[in-house]
A and B are shown apart, each in its own frame.
Chain A
Amino acid sequence: LAKTTQPISMDSYEGQEVNITCSHNNIATNDYITWYQQFPSQGPRFIIQGYKTKVTNEVASLFIPADRKSSTLSLPRVSLSDTAVYYCLVDLNFNKFYFGSGTKLNVKP
């Protein structure tokens, strides 16, 4: 069973910042939080990963509150090419990824 809950879909416009929140109420002490992006007929692509507080890389930021029961993926200034499904996963040692439904992000012009 998936350990995470995300909104099924979100709409945005080009140039906007998009925040996708994931709930993981039963996250274990040693679990990491990982986000992937998937385009149709492609394998998921790693976006970002974190354990606590804030992580930032060249494509996104990940915000994790102190209780770690949720996390928020932030995509700055989205473009049409960011239209995809975004998955949040939690696991220890990246061994058992049970995918939830993901969030289908639709970026409009």
Chain B
Amino acid sequence: GAVVSQHPSRVICKSGTSVKIECRSLDFQATTMFWYRQFPKQSLMLMATSNEGSKATYEQGVEKDKFLINHASLTLSTLTVTSAHPEDSSFYICSARALVAGAQETQYFGPGTRLLVL
């Protein structure tokens, strides 16, 4: 139980375009999901908290107009990187907070999405 998926797993786009990344909780409902970014050889950095039915809360220094988050259902959160630039190239990882029967309450992470902006 407590499986989180992301789509796509990899994406390459041209500079100036927008890219949408989906995060789904497959076998549980998640009122709260989280988005992280990880640069090579660095740790995960929390970008924002996604709350179902309300606006996301962003960490300091993260531009909310550049990283649009929509949590429209209890199983889906999306992150849209708008007007992407090469410096946005990174590994984006989502997680969902879960209390699942037979599993530990904690955050469960997706497999990540590798974004490369040319």
A-to-B contact residues, CB < 8 Å: 2, 32, 34, 36, 41-46, 49, 87, 93-102
Are the C-beta atoms of B112 and A46 separated by less than 8 Å? no
Are the C-beta atoms of A49 and B112 separated by less than 8 Å? no
Are the C-beta atoms of A43 and B32 separated by less than 8 Å? no
Are the C-beta atoms of B43 and A44 separated by less than 8 Å? no
Q: Which of B1-15 contact A (CB under 8 A)?
A: 4, 6
Q: When A and B form their complex, what is the total count of cross-chain residue pairs whose Cβ atoms lie within 8 Å?
A: 56
Query: How far, in whole Å, are A97 and B44 apart by their CA atoms in the complex?
Result: 9
Are the C-beta atoms of B104 and A100 separated by less than 8 Å? no
Are the C-beta atoms of B109 and A101 separated by less than 8 Å? no
Query: How far, in whole Å, are A46 and B97 apart by their CA atoms in the complex?
Result: 12
Are the C-beta atoms of B97 and A43 separated by less than 8 Å? no
In the assembled complex, B17 has its CB within 8 A of some CB on chain A: no
Partner of B34, one of A34, A49, A93, A97: A97
B-to-A contact residues, CB < 8 Å: 4, 6, 32, 34, 36, 43-46, 49, 91, 93, 95, 97, 104-112, 114
Are the C-beta atoms of A94 and B44 separated by less than 8 Å? no
Query: How far, in whole Å, are A36 and B91 apart by their CA atoms in the complex?
Result: 17
In the complex, chain A residues whose CB is within 8 Å of the CB of B32: 95
Are the C-beta atoms of B111 and A46 separated by less than 8 Å? no
CB B13 to nearest CB in A, in angstroms, measures 18
- In chain B, what residue has the closest Cβ to A104? B41
In the complex, chain A residues whose CB is within 8 Å of the CB of B49: 95-96
Nearest first, the 7 closest Cβ-Cβ pairs linking A and B are A43-B109, A99-B44, A99-B43, A44-B109, A43-B93, A43-B112, A94-B106
Are the C-beta atoms of A98 and B114 separated by less than 8 Å? no
In the complex, chain A residues whose CB is within 8 Å of the CB of B43: 2, 87, 99-102
CB B70 to nearest CB in A, in angstroms, measures 20
* 9 sample A-B contacts, Cβ–Cβ < 8 Å, listed by A number: A42-B111, A43-B111, A49-B104, A94-B97, A94-B107, A95-B49, A97-B46, A99-B43, A101-B43
Given the interface pairs A95-B49, A95-B97, the reply to whether A44 lies near B44 with Cβ below 8 Å is: yes
CB A16 to nearest CB in B, in angstroms, measures 26
